[in-house]
């Protein structure tokens, strides 16, 4: 186990056919339909992370509570979790889905434009929608850089150093290199501090400086250049909602620190430098902010990036990577099983030429889950958590045997729009995402749910209160005007074990990547009520057999007949919901060191894994498609072994040791697959699936 790990999430594939769509029952109170309530007990199998509702003034976080102080799980949280499971179970539409999403990527260091970028200074920027006004730094000025020791001294001894500051710089007479710098409001040099988190620790940190007299003409970017920049920066880490909500919007800066570990030394022997402040990634640039641009022969700016390497957008949006029939329901008279039961919102109607209402109100109302016993919350500092990264194509896209284990020329095979997107259609999305359940011994907190010492100063950590493992809640779910199959599907979501078999858990709330949120529901048949809808109006109705097995059997029979493609995927869903599928102690996001170094900062730096599994070819002089960093795909959920190799980061003199990847990276059936054509194939024209 020391050299392998299991990724926290997996994918249940999309069914090979679209969902069964038909007209819903409506809300006219058809007498033969079913109405009533289900009373359940919710059991927390791991700690639950449920954020407070609409309370940003509290100094410390707390559990969500009713006005009388009783801890609760809001019904909206429960309903969202139940609907998500129902969509997978029935093969329904992708209700929450951004069809236009395209990921952004960092430019490779070898990109042609990176060597032709010039530094420019923001003169003015009025809004995110309008292009900024820039001045390009003096052409032909020395491309100089200040070393980490001088940056740290300047930041410490003179005044805090901020990217964009004006400096007076002294140069060595023999080498021509800058050796000393001082703050000066009329200095002819501007410094640019960049993010240090992804830099190799054995190489010193340098900051670019450029001559800037302010004599170059002002340029307002063309709208297409600005739109290209906004698209490229769209998925930058620092635009994540969690971070934007935590920091003061008036403070666009973050601290730059770097730990230098010379070759041959261990990580603990490194020197930590506090270098200054840099601008956070944003679509609103600040006056005086240094940026990177390229220009045409006439001096007109034709590209803008925040870093020397910058970012670029992938190709073929998410909507082109799933079958059209899986896209969200649009017609309120033709709805998938989940939309018929839980409701459907027409999110596209507002942009149409005709004002139309195509939404549909659901038939299920989920009440708050109220704690049955006194709750003593667990306090925790959560580690940094980011948004999902669908741009990691080695995990999020379907990679067949011809692609796995191969390297590409440019761009890397992991990218959306690389040579791996062959033929008339790009690679499909992998499926619906599910996080592994990872129970802990004696019901304790998962180790990855607590921020580690080296993470405590991160802007992305947050304080939280957790419901402890073993907490019990009571919850009532009301339903109106549903048929036997729909009620059976709802019961199946509340107890997937009853239709899939085995011990199965569900997820509720946040923190699923950290091992939080696992729970089960227990139905109280005596307190629950099931009746014919017509009985509400005094009509004579035969009594309804309240046995849940009857309705689940109706649902299973309907699935086999009307939705066989989704029914075929039930074994995969059972595997995703089981708490016994993977070893809980092996689950972690890609580590940067072996498990015996789990307490180190390097363990939580997974850059090397993503770099060395990206499908990047290092040399174009060979006909071997595996030279470089071959593409490593996330194991299919059908595979018995879900382990992946740990690829340790290079530390000082250990860089050579990390070059060779374990042979187990490629499944035996794939080690000899692939041809050179896969790497050389050009990007195909955009192929719509509609």
pLDDT at residue 664 in the model: 42
pLDDT at residue 327 in the model: 94
Report residue 49's pLDDT band, with 50, 70 and 90 as the boundaries: very high
Q: How many CA atoms lie within 13 A of 523 on its CB side?
A: 20
Task: Provide the 3-class DSSP secondary structure of residue 155.
Answer: helix
Q: Which of 60-69, 77-86, 513-522 has the lowest mean pLDDT?
A: 60-69
- CB atoms closer than 10 angstroms to residue 345: 15
Report residue 652's pLDDT band, with 50, 70 and 90 as the boundaries: very low
User: 238 pLDDT exceeds 70?
Assistant: no
User: 673 pLDDT exceeds 90?
Assistant: no
* 648 DSSP 8-state letter: P
Over residues 212-239, mean pLDDT? 83
Q: Which of 18-27, 96-105, 116-125 has the lowest mean pLDDT?
A: 96-105
pLDDT at residue 541 in the model: 63
Question: Would you report the helix, strand and coil content of the chain in percent, each value rounded to 5?
Answer: 25, 25, 55
- What does the alpha-carbon distance between residue 655 and residue 200 come to, in Å, rounded to a whole number? 10
- What does the alpha-carbon distance between residue 534 and residue 641 come to, in Å, rounded to a whole number? 53
User: 658 pLDDT exceeds 80?
Assistant: no
Q: Which of 56-65, 169-178, 503-512 has the lowest mean pLDDT?
A: 56-65
Report residue 682's pLDDT band, with 50, 70 and 90 as the boundaries: very low
Report residue 667's pLDDT band, with 50, 70 and 90 as the boundaries: very low
pLDDT at residue 533 in the model: 83
Over residues 256-281, mean pLDDT? 90
Q: Which of 538-542, 634-638, 645-649 has the lowest mean pLDDT?
A: 538-542
- Alpha-carbon distances, residue 493 vs 223, 338, 499 (angstroms): 49, 11, 9
- What does the alpha-carbon distance between residue 613 and residue 666 come to, in Å, rounded to a whole number? 11
Q: Which of 100-114, 528-542, 595-609 has the lowest mean pLDDT?
A: 100-114
Question: Which DSSP helix (H) or strand (E) runs through 480?
Answer: strand 472-482
Residues paired with residue 104 on neighbouring β-strands, in sequence order = 313
Over residues 521-530, mean pLDDT? 94
- Alpha-carbon distances, residue 52 vs 1, 25, 63, 464 (angstroms): 38, 36, 6, 9
What digits encode the pLDDT tens for the residues 141-157? 667 999 999 999 999 99
pLDDT at residue 192 in the model: 95
Higher pLDDT among residues 52 and 366, named by residue: 366
Does residue 350 contact residue 491 with C-beta atoms inside 8 Å? no
pLDDT at residue 310 in the model: 66
- Structure-token pair, residue 288: 């005086």
pLDDT at residue 690 in the model: 34
pLDDT at residue 63 in the model: 95
Over residues 604-608, mean pLDDT? 88
* 120 DSSP 8-state letter: E
- What does the alpha-carbon distance between residue 177 and residue 409 come to, in Å, rounded to a whole number? 36
Q: Alpha helix (H) ranges present in 154-292?
A: 223-233, 241-246
User: 248 pLDDT exceeds 80?
Assistant: no
- What does the alpha-carbon distance between residue 79 and residue 174 come to, in Å, rounded to a whole number? 71
How many residues appear in the chain? 690
pLDDT at residue 58 in the model: 58
pLDDT at residue 31 in the model: 86
- What does the alpha-carbon distance between residue 580 and residue 674 come to, in Å, rounded to a whole number? 35
In 52-177, DSSP assigns E strands to 72-73, 104-106, 118-124, 133-136, 144-147, 166-171
pLDDT at residue 687 in the model: 36
- What does the alpha-carbon distance between residue 64 and residue 71 come to, in Å, rounded to a whole number? 6
- What does the alpha-carbon distance between residue 382 and residue 49 come to, in Å, rounded to a whole number? 10
What integer best gives the mean pLDDT of the chain? 85
Report residue 309's pLDDT band, with 50, 70 and 90 as the boundaries: low
Q: Which of 80-89, 460-469, 633-642 has the lowest mean pLDDT?
A: 460-469
User: 55 pLDDT exceeds 70?
Assistant: no
What digits encode the pLDDT tens for the residues 410-450? 789 999 999 899 767 899 999 999 999 999 988 888 889 99
Over residues 649-660, mean pLDDT? 49
What digits encode the pLDDT tens for the residues 361-378? 999 999 999 999 999 999
- The residues, ordered by sequence, that sit 6+ positions from 377 with a Cβ below 8 Å of its Cβ are 62, 63, 71, 465, 466, 467, 468
pLDDT at residue 476 in the model: 98
Report residue 670's pLDDT band, with 50, 70 and 90 as the boundaries: very low
Percent of the chain with pLDDT over 90: 59
pLDDT at residue 688 in the model: 38
Place of tokens 């309705």: 551
Report residue 655's pLDDT band, with 50, 70 and 90 as the boundaries: very low
Task: Provide the 3-class DSSP secondary structure of residue 211.
Answer: strand
Q: Which of 32-36, 67-71, 305-309 has the lowest mean pLDDT?
A: 305-309
pLDDT at residue 235 in the model: 62
Higher pLDDT among residues 363 and 109, named by residue: 363
Task: Provide the 3-class DSSP secondary structure of residue 637.
Answer: coil
Task: Provide the 3-class DSSP secondary structure of residue 184.
Answer: coil
- What does the alpha-carbon distance between residue 525 and residue 61 come to, in Å, rounded to a whole number? 36
Report residue 455's pLDDT band, with 50, 70 and 90 as the boundaries: confident
Q: Which of 227-231, 496-500, 507-511 has the lowest mean pLDDT?
A: 227-231
List the domain boundaries for the chain: 9-102+320-377+461-577, 104-313
């Amino acid at each position: 186990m020391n050299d392998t790990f299991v990724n926290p999430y997996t994918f249940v594939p999309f069914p090979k056919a679209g969902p069964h769509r038909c007209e819903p029952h409506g809300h006219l109170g058809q007498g033969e339909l079913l109405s009533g309530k289900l009373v359940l007990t919710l059991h927390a199998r791991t700690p639950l992370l449920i954020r407070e509702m609409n309370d940003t003034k509290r100094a410390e976080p707390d559990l969500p509570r009713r006005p009388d102080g009783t801890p609760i799980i809001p019904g909206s949280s429960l309903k969202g979790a139940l609907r998500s499971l129902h969509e997978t179970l029935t093969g329904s539409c992708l209700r929450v889905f951004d069809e236009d999403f395209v990921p952004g990527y960092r430019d490779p260091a070898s990109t042609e434009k990176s060597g032709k970028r010039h530094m420019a200074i923001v003169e003015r920027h009025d809004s995110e929608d309008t292009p900024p006004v820039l001045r390009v730094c003096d052409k032909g000025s020395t491309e100089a850089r200040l070393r980490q020791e001088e940056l740290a001294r300047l930041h410490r001894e003179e005044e805090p150093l901020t990217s964009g500051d004006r400096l007076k710089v002294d140069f060595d007479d023999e080498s021509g290199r800058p050796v000393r710098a001082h703050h000066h409001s009329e200095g002819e040099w501007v410094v640019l501090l960049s993010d240090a988190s992804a830099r190799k620790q054995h190489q010193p940190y340098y900051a670019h400086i450029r001559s800037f007299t302010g004599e170059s003409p002002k340029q307002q970017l063309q709208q297409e250049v600005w739109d290209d920049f906004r698209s490229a920066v769209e998925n930058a880490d620092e635009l994540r909602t969690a971070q934007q909500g935590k920091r003061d919007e008036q403070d666009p800066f973050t601290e730059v620190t770097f730990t230098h570990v010379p070759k041959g030394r261990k990580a603990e022997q490194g020197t930590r430098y506090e270098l200054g402040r840099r601008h956070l990634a944003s679509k609103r640039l600040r006056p005086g902010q240094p940026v990177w641009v390229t220009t045409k022969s006439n001096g007109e700016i034709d590209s803008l990036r925040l870093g020397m390497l910058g970012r670029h957008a992938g190709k073929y949006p998410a909507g082109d990577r799933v079958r059209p029939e899986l896209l969200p329901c649009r017609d309120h008279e033709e709805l998938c099983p989940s939309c018929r039961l839980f409701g459907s919102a027409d999110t596209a109607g507002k942009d149409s030429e005709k004002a139309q209402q195509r939404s549909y109100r659901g038939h299920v109302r989920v009440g708050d889950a109220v704690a049955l016993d006194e709750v003593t919350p667990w306090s925790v500092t959560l580690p940094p958590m980011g948004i999902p990264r669908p741009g990691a194509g080695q995990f999020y896209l379907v990679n067949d045997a011809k692609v796995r284990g191969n390297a590409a020329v440019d761009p890397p095979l992991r990218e959306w729009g690389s040579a791996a997107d062959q033929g008339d259609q790009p690679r499909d999305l992998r499926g619906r995402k599910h996080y592994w359940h990872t129970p802990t011994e004696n019901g304790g907190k998962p180790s990855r749910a607590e921020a580690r010492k080296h993470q405590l100063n991160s802007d992305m950590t947050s304080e939280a209160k957790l419901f402890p493992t073993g907490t019990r809640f009571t919850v009532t779910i009301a339903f109106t005007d549903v048929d036997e199959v729909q009620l059976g599907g709802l019961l199946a979501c509340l107890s997937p074990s009853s239709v899939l078999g085995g011990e199965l858990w569900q997820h509720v709330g946040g923190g699923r990547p950290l091992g939080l949120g696992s729970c089960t529901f227990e139905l109280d048949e005596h307190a629950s009520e099931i009746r014919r809808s017509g009985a509400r109006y005094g009509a004579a109705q035969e009594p309804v057999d309240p046995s849940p097995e009857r309705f689940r059997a109706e649902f299973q029979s309907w699935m086999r007949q009307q939705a066989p493609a989704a029914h075929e995927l039930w074994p995969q869903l059972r595997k995703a919901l089981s708490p016994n599928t993977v070893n809980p102690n092996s689950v972690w996001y890609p580590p940067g060191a072996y498990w015996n170094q789990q307490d180190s900062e390097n363990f939580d730096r997974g850059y090397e894994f993503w770099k060395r599994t990206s499908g990047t070819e290092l040399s174009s002089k060979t006909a071997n498609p595996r030279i470089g960093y071959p593409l490593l795909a996330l194991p299919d959920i059908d595979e018995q072994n879900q382990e992946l190799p740990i690829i340790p980061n290079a530390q000082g003199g250990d860089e050579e040791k990390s070059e060779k990847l374990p042979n187990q990276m490629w499944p035996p059936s794939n080690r000899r697959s692939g041809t050179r054509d896969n790497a050389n194939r050009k990007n195909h024209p955009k192929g719509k699936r509609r």
